């Protein structure tokens, strides 16, 4: 009987220690960085931006992340460009985990939004959201600069305009030649 009591007491103490370490580890979940990796599928209406939301577990026990929800908003006017939700995984103690995101961002209206960004000189956006762990929400927010992407978008518009002018000119010349033949 005393052996069962001792084992039960040891299991209880170990459970309390693990529970304490788990709660402590919950307070050590952080989003130290949001990385932008690429810009793809640039066209006159939208582009696809991708990157990683990096989560860090500085605690002592593995933590199961439920999900990561985020919004991407423009800083100068608060307009929401995109949003997303990522499925969580386990993060081991003293480890980082990268959560890949990819969002199509529409320039609606394309030209005027791009021009507003360039005129105001404010090409920053904010990725903000929550990491859901157990019953807790851990907020995060990080500013990102879209200047490079706006430049690529502008180049795409110019390239498309040049191509359209070339095609139109070729069609006009061909129609004139056909008319006189």
State the Cα torsion 117-120-121-126 to the nearest 10°: -60
Q: Is the predicted pLDDT of residue 85 greater than 80, yes or no?
A: yes
Q: What percent of the chain has pLDDT over 70?
A: 84
The Cβ of residue 101 has, within 10 Å, a number of other Cβ atoms equal to 22
Q: Give the predicted TM-score (pTM) of the model.
A: 0.72
Cα 85 from Cα 130, distance rounded (Å): 10
Ordered structural domains, the chain, with CATH = 2-168 (2.60.40.1820)
- Token pair 């529970």 is at which residue? 19
* Angstrom distances, CA of residue 150 to CA of 110, 113, 160: 11, 10, 15
Q: For residue 149, give the nearest of 78, 97, 85, 72 by alpha carbon.
A: 72
Instruction: Locate 137 and state its tokens.
Output: 């929400």
d(CA 70, CA 34): 11
Dihedral, CA of residue 163, residue 116, residue 83 and residue 133, to nearest 10: 140
Tens digits of residue pLDDT in 5-54: 888 888 889 889 888 888 888 889 999 988 888 777 766 677 788 889 99
pLDDT at 110: 47
What is the average pLDDT across 160-176? 82
Q: Identify the pLDDT of residue 56.
A: 95
For residue 102, is pLDDT > 60? yes
Three-state secondary-structure class, residue 153: helix
Largest CA distance in the chain: 111
Q: How many CB atoms lie within 10 A of CB 4?
A: 8
- Residues with Cβ within 8 Å of 89's Cβ and at least 6 positions away in sequence, in order, are 64, 65, 97
Q: In this structure, are residues 66 and 88 in contact, taking their beta carbons and an 8 Å threshold?
A: yes
What pLDDT band is residue 175 in, cutting at 50, 70 and 90?
A: confident
Contact call for residues 105 and 46 (beta carbons, < 8 A): yes
């Amino acid at each position: 009987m005393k052996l069962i009591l001792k084992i039960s007491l040891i299991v209880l103490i170990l459970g309390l220690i693990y529970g304490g370490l788990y709660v402590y580890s919950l307070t050590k979940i952080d989003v130290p960085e949001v990385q932008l990796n690429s810009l793809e599928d640039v066209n006159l209406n939208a582009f696809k931006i991708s990157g990683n939301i990096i989560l860090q577990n500085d605690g002592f026990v593995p933590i199961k992340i439920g999900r990561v929800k985020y919004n991407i908003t423009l800083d100068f006017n608060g307009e929401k460009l995109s949003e997303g939700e990522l499925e969580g995984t386990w993060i081991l103690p003293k480890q980082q985990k990268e959560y890949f995101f990819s969002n199509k961002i529409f320039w609606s209206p394309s030209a005027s939004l791009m021009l507003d960004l360039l005129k105001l000189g404010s090409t920053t956006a904010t990725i903000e959201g929550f990491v859901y762990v157990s019953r807790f929400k851990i907020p995060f927010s990080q500013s990102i600069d879209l200047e490079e992407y706006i430049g690529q978008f502008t180049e795409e518009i110019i390239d498309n305009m040049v191509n359209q002018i070339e095609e139109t000119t070729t069609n006009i010349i061909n129609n004139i030649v056909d008319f006189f033949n």
